[in-house]
Amino acid sequence: MKVINTNFTLSKNDKLVVLTGAGVSAESGLKTFRDNNGLWENHKVEDVATPQAFIRNPIMVWKFYKQRFMQLSNVKPNTGHYALCKLEEYLKDNFTLITQNVDGLHHLAGSKNVLEMHGSLSKSVCTKCNQEMHMKDVDLSVDLPICSECGGELRPKVTWFGEVPYHLDNIFRSLQEADYFLVLGTSGTVYPAAQFVAIAKSQNAKTICVNLTKQQMLPL
């Protein structure tokens, strides 16, 4: 495992921002997106993770995300998730957790200040009235789940390729105020997360990367 810039000590007054990716959930049994044996094996990105795919074949897209949602009932947070909870308990409001993961395990472990930039598998949203619904309240037995408010077509509340992630204003603000930026379990190759290290460094934050592959840092 590659570790970069680990010589640091946190005080309760330091502001720490953490970015987590699929590698953090791997120990819980969730395969990383880019592994050959990952959850998306046999599914091209353009077939299940783009707005165009949903327009073209919403039944197949929903079948894929139903399977991913059902899998969550068999996984639990791991020591990495709980360690981040301890950091939040120590730093309180000076701690911000940004995650690219949609599995909800940070919340399940007890983390509170979590920005799920790619959304959540546990939620859906109506394509007609924008009403949000928890997946547990949605009838997933049908091919195309519908909104209980307006009858419109629901879609998983996840960020697909080509869409703008959630919470970007809060994310950029936290990076600009950070004293330390910790990156865990992500190669950082997907925009806009690929620029987060550069943004934090531009504000003189100390950066730490813990990942199996080298962090790909892009310029501002």
CB 184 within 8 Å of CB 24: yes
Token readout for 101 is 């993961």
Beta-sheet strand order (sheet of 114-116)? 2-4, 206-211, 180-184, 16-20, 95-99, 114-116
| Distance (Å, whole) CA 137 – CA 122 | 10
Which residue type is seen at 182? Answer: L
Instruction: Give catalytic status of residue 118 as yes or no.
Output: yes
| Distance (Å, whole) CA 129 – CA 146 | 11
For 30, 75, 216, the CA distances from 37, given in Å and listed in that order, are 11, 17, 22
- The residue length of the chain stands at 220
| Distance (Å, whole) CA 148 – CA 153 | 10
Q: Which residues are catalytic?
A: 118
